[in-house]
Amino acid sequence: MASFKVKLVLYFLLLSLLPVAAAFWGFSTVDDQRLAGLIMKIGGGLLLWLVIAVIFFRWAGEEDRRIAARRQWQDLDRELSRMGTTTS
| Domain count for the chain | 1
| Rounded CA separation 16/12 (Å) | 6
**Which range marks the domain in which residue 32 is found?**
2-83
In a domain, residue 22? The reply is yes
In a domain, residue 88? The reply is no
| Rounded CA separation 80/68 (Å) | 18
> What tens digit of pLDDT does each residue of 10-24 get?
888 887 877 777 677
Average pLDDT, the chain: 85
In a domain, residue 25? The reply is yes
In a domain, residue 75? The reply is yes
- As a whole number of angstroms, the longest Cα–Cα distance in the chain is 87
The one-digit pLDDT tens for each residue of the chain (88 residues) are 678 888 888 888 887 877 777 677 787 878 888 988 999 999 999 999 999 999 999 999 998 888 888 888 888 888 888 888 765 5
In a domain, residue 51? The reply is yes
Please answer whether residues 37 and 29 qualify as being in contact, where contact means their C-beta atoms are separated by less than 8 angstroms.
no
Classify 27 as helix, strand or coil: coil
In a domain, residue 62? The reply is yes
In a domain, residue 45? The reply is yes
In a domain, residue 32? The reply is yes
